[in-house]
Every structure is written in structure tokens, then in C-alpha cells.
Amino acid sequence: KAGWSDLDVRAVDTVRVLAADAVQKVGNGHPGTAMSLAPVAYLLFQNVMRIDPNDEHWLGRDRFVLSCGHSSLTQYIQLYLSGYGLELDDLKALRTWGSKTPGHPEVHHTTGVEITTGPLGSGLASAVGMAFAQRRQRGLFDPDAKKGTSPFDHHIWVIASDGDIMEGVTHEASALAGHQELGNLTVIYDQNTISIEDKTEISFSEDVGARYAAYGWNVVEIDWRKDGDGATYVEDVDALLAACEKSRDATKPTIIVLRTIIAWPSPTKQDTGKSHGSALGSDEIAGLKEVLGFDPKKTFEVSRDVITHTRKVKARGKALHKEWDKRYAAWRKGNAEGAALLDRLVSQELPAGLDKAVPSFPADPKGIATRAASGKVLGALAEVVPELWGGSADLAESNNTTMEGQPSFIPASKQTREWSGGPYGRTLHFGIREFGMGLILNGIALEGLMRPYGGTFLVFSDYMRAAVRLAAIQELPVTFVWTHDSIGLGEDGPTHQPIEHLASLRAIPGFEVVRPADANETAAAWVQILKNAKPVGLCLSRQALPTQDPKVAGKISNVGKGAYILREASSGTPDVILIATGSEVGLAMAAADTLEKGKIATRVVSMPCREWFETQTKGYQEKVLPAAVKARVSVEAGVPMGWRDVVGDAGEIVGIDHFGASADAATLFREFGFTPEKVVAAAKRSI
């Protein structure tokens, strides 16, 4: 039982009033859900979660994910009440320039916020990733501890809304959570049946509980509405608390379907779409305050008693932390090696000798596919970088994302004839769920210790694009491995051939697109990616690519600069510069042969990552692409968009601005103009 005192009840009502006041002050926002979720969030922060407001980075803390990010006040007000650092003035500054209380919660911005949410479905899906990470971390550091006794045991708590449940990505992530038997995950689904178009019955009539049962979740239904009339509404927090506590010991994920009335007890706007996304208006707020026994003339009214009471969570958190510290110290004592690894991961340092750990590939005109090279690199990194783990959305063999010999991350009962493993395994199997994979990878990274990666075909980056953007917004060290990165994919045809994807991914702020030209560039790229620790897309070829001279193409320092001179013009001063990425570097090299034979001094620049090149000094950039050389040709099997900045008015762009076709790769490259002759002709036009 929660055993709430009058002060607790007053605190919960204070939350409702603050939510209404804060939205009213700025004139826009989402008051309704924050009001009706007040007792839910208060219960989590005060009675359920193992948190310490004094230390937001506490390794043993439970995680809180507000999947309905539009109801950011639900989180901000609890952070204020429990003493994470937010104060009343921050609530007054809601949704204004420079405030700590932006429209949607933002990680790295507001103390206590674990994840940026808002795009619906994303919070819940990334919470599944956090639950993945918790299990993997426990397996890495403390696999033999009894359940609930390890300093690496913690729980993931989610509040989700009708919108989250409708989105396809929560289907994907929830199906995986059920499959993975994630007992460390609890979702409170606020079924208020109101969205922007008012009653959700207009578009939403599935039996959510039955659906989640079909995924293998524990389903608990708690109905505060009873017959749906606000007059009989009872916020039975004891039932909710019992369900939460039970879920902590579960062997499956739990969804608590909680039937609420949005904006309760707002006199006339409860249970309406208007209360979802608009300020209530001063009359309505006055009415609300009267119902709750607050002074209608005052705003942002918080009694000293209330705030003193609610901030006791700081003392309780400190005690929890202290108790945990003991267990943690005992663990460190018995696990020197694990402690050293943990210290490295916490400080976000890489192991020594990374550069030497990756394989080197001899020059070879036939070469191998960069996806195959990537697979070998991952295999070599497996022992050295235990924090690196990942898998594929059902394309393991095509994406070469499996570290050879590493066990699958899977309940023991779900191993198959092809894949062995266990709950603490390392190889991830996402099924055919690209978007879910993307957000799960984000969640793994948000836990703070691991370096996750996940693969699919480059063309299907479209399915997961919103996850990629959220990785970029949150600056998460996630590596998206995208293979089959051009028409070189061949026979599967236009639906499977990326055309616009390199450009469209480069357009995302803070995101890096890396497209290595050969096996050694691939190895160097992985090292640089690990060093940078940023969101990145690694685009790899299906087809074999010639391995260039490893003394040039294999140098991590070259690749890490984003662009470098792979082949200098015979004269030293180039007549023309060919700039290429990935599979087209070999084509540029072949064209350079012809041009040089025709006495045209040709430099070839390999440009595996434009974003990396842009961070180099002007001096280095000028060295690689001297302003004086206006004759330039870019070669990339993608849309021309974005290359004019590199080649300039006088330059030429060899690209493809239409969809592909179903045929073998060689035919497609020939038919679509990716031949040495076409590149030579473009170079001559440019000179």
C-alpha cells in the first residue's frame, strides 16, 4: 500500500494545478495528461523507483521513460518535487527560449531526463533497448548474482499513451520485448482514450491487453474510470503500486493498462481533446483550483509543507544509494577485472591498441565487399571491445554483422538450430523490424555503457529514419550498418536499391555518413567510428571492391580525416580532381588511368566521410582540394544532391537521379553511366 498522507494528496493536486498554470502562462502546451497522470508519476517517483535525485548518474538507478513526451510537465514537475534541481521558475519558463523545460523532455539538457521523447512510440521502443542493455551489462559484470542482489540490477519504467500504442514501432519493440522475456521492463499505459481528434474510438478499437498478451507480456488492467463517469472516478493508487511492485519480480515485461480520465478533475474540459493540447483558459483553471481547494487567484501555488515533504525522496534516495554502494564495493573487491572494465566504460574511454586490433588487407585488384571486410573487422574487435555488440534486422549473413563465435542474446529456450546463446549473449536478432531496431539501439546507448550497432540494407534506412534522427538529436554513439549501398545490390531491383539515401542521410544534422572504398578503409572507418562515439551510418557494398594500396587507403589517419589523396596526379599539380566515395573510388582510379594516359594530370580523392572532412582545418582541406583547381568531378552512385558544394560551378557530378532496375550489378553500372569513359568525359568537360 502506498499509505499516502494528506500531504501526498495535496502534493498530487499541486501537480495538477502547476500543470494547468504552466501551460496557461506560456499559452500553449499539453495540460490534460499531466493533470490526470499526476498520481501515477508521483507514485513512481515517491514510492516505486529506485532513484537518487542527488546523483542523476548513479549506476544503479532505475530508468524513467516518458514515452508521451508531449506531457513533459509530468516529468518536469516530479523532477521539481523530488529535488533534481528544477525549481518553480523553471516551470514558469516552460517552452521558452533557453529554459530547462522545453516542449518535450531532452536528455543532456535537463537533469534527471534520461531520454529525449516526443515522437510517439519512440520512448517505449527505446525503453526496450534500455532493458536489453541492463541485461547485457549484468551478464558482462555480474552474471552469477541472484536476481535482485546485483548492483547491476535495475528496472525500466515507462509511461506510454494511446498514441504510443498505435504507432507501429511499439508493435515491433513490444513483440521483441515479449520474445526476450524482459522482466526488467514495466509500461504503464495511460489509456485515457483521448487524442487530438478527441475520442480515440474514431480510429482505435483494438483490445490492447489481448494484443500485449499475444506478445507474451504480463497484462494488468486497472480501471479508474469504472463506468466512465468522472463523478465516480477513483484513483486507486494502491492497485497501481501493487501492480508495479509485482512487475519488478516478473519474468516477462509487464503492461499495466490504466484507464484514466484526461484532465481530471477539470470541471468542463476533463475527458476532452481540447484539454490534450491547449491551455485550459483562466476560467477553467479557476474552477479546477476551486475543486481542489486551491486559491483561484493564485498561480504556481506550492505550499512549503508540500515541497518539504516531497523532497524527502532525496534522503530516501541517498539511503538507497548508500546501501547500493556497499554491494557495489563488495562486487568491485571480488571482480578486479570487471571493475577495471567498468571504470573504462564509465569514463567512455576505448581500450588501448585499437588501431592494431583491426586486420589489414593486402592490395588486391579483385578485393572483397566492404560488408565482408566489416564482418572481419567486427570479429577482430570482439575480444578487444566487449562493449561493442549488435546484430541485424534478419539480414545477419547479408549485413555481416555477426561477430564470429559470439553467442546470441536470447532466452535459452528460444535458441534455434542456427543460433545458440543465452540471456547474456551478444549477437542481436531484431527480426524484420528496422525501426524497432533503431530505437532499441538508441536505448542501449542511452544506458551509457555500451556501443551498439545494427544492420539492414541501406534502402531500409527509410524505415528507421525517425530513429536515426533521434540518435542524432541525442548525440548517441550508435552505429547503423547499412549494406547493399547502391545499385550494386543488383537483381532485387528498384525497391531495394538506394538512390537518394546517402544524400538524405547526410542532410540530418549531427549525423555522419561513412562510405569506405575498400577493405582497409572499412577497418580504419570502424576505428574512427569507435573513437568519435557519435551517431553514424556505415554504408557498405554488396559487391567486391578492389583493395587499394594499404599504405594509403589503409591509414586510419587518412580515413579519419574524411577525405584524402588516394592517388596524386603525375605532374603533382592536377589538371583535374576526381572525388569519389565507396564503390566508385575504384571507378575513379580506372578513369584516372585513362586520363593520365591522355596526358591529363589527375588526382583521385577518396572521400569516405564528408562530415569528417568538414571538421578538418582549412589548410588540410585546401591541400586535398586546392581552390585553384576548378576542374573537379564527383563520382558516387547516388543522387547528385549536395555535390555541387564540392565540385563548384565548373565541376561535373556523376550520379544517378532516377530509380534503379532489376539486373546484375555490372549491367546496371554500365547502363546507368558509371563507367570510366563517362567519368573521363565528365573530367574533360570540367577542364
Q: Note whether 332 binds its own copies by CB under 8 A.
A: no
Q: Note whether 192 binds its own copies by CB under 8 A.
A: no
Q: Note whether 615 binds its own copies by CB under 8 A.
A: no
Q: Which is nearer to its own copies, 362 or 405 (CB)?
A: 405
As a whole number of angstroms, the distance between CA 249 and CA 585 comes to 55
Q: Which is nearer to its own copies, 663 or 681 (CB)?
A: 663
Single out the catalytic residue among 434, 512, 521, 652.
434
Which of helix, strand or coil describes residue 369? strand
Q: Which is nearer to its own copies, 278 or 558 (CB)?
A: 278
Among positions 91, 120, 140, 255, the unique one binding its own copies when judged by CB under 8 A = 120
The stretch among 236-244, 291-299, 300-308, 388-396 that binds its own copies (CB under 8 A) is 388-396
Residues 510, 671 contacting (CB under 8 angstroms): no
Residue 508 CB neighbours (<10 A) = 17
Q: Which residues within the stretch 199-218 sit at the binding site for its own copies (CB under 8 A)?
A: 199-208, 210-211, 213-216
Among positions 44, 237, 306, 639, the unique one binding its own copies when judged by CB under 8 A = 639
Among positions 183, 423, 436, 537, the unique one binding its own copies when judged by CB under 8 A = 436
Q: Note whether 495 binds its own copies by CB under 8 A.
A: yes
Q: Note whether 628 binds its own copies by CB under 8 A.
A: no
Is 387 part of the annotated catalytic residue set? no
The stretch among 427-435, 476-484, 555-563, 570-578 that binds its own copies (CB under 8 A) is 427-435
**Distance set, CA 442 to CA 131, 464, 470, 535, 536 (Å):** 12, 11, 8, 9, 12
Among positions 416, 557, 573, 615, the unique one binding its own copies when judged by CB under 8 A = 416
**Distance set, CA 192 to CA 17, 41, 183, 228, 231 (Å):** 19, 15, 25, 10, 16
As a whole number of angstroms, the distance between CA 384 and CA 285 comes to 59
Q: Which residues within the stretch 215-234 sit at the binding site for its own copies (CB under 8 A)?
A: 215-216
Q: Which is nearer to its own copies, 94 or 450 (CB)?
A: 94
Q: Which residues within the stretch 463-492 sit at the binding site for its own copies (CB under 8 A)?
A: 463, 465-466, 469-470, 472-473, 490-492
Q: How far is the CB of 168 from its own copies (least distance, A)?
A: 3
Q: Which is nearer to its own copies, 250 or 286 (CB)?
A: 250
Residue 239 CB neighbours (<10 A) = 18
- The rounded radius of gyration (Å) of the Cα atoms in the chain is 28
Q: Note whether 641 binds its own copies by CB under 8 A.
A: yes
Q: Which residues within the stretch 53-92 sit at the binding site for its own copies (CB under 8 A)?
A: 69-70
Q: Note whether 407 binds its own copies by CB under 8 A.
A: no
As a whole number of angstroms, the distance between CA 181 and CA 163 comes to 24
Q: Note whether 123 binds its own copies by CB under 8 A.
A: no
Helices (runs of H) and strands (runs of E) counted in the chain: 30, 22
Q: Note whether 281 binds its own copies by CB under 8 A.
A: no
Q: Note whether 103 binds its own copies by CB under 8 A.
A: yes
Give the helix ranges, DSSP H, for 196-303.
Answer: 208-214, 237-248, 274-277, 282-292
Sequence-distant (≥ 6) Cβ neighbours of residue 535 within 8 angstroms: 468, 471, 472, 475, 476, 477, 478, 480, 510, 511, 512
Residues 216, 181 contacting (CB under 8 angstroms): yes
Residue 425 CB neighbours (<10 A) = 23
The stretch among 227-235, 372-380, 431-439, 520-528 that binds its own copies (CB under 8 A) is 431-439
- Our CA dihedral for 511, 517, 523, 527, rounded to 10 degrees, sits at -30
Q: Which of 368, 312, 366 is nearest to 11 (CA)?
A: 312
Give the residue numbers marked as catalytic.
434
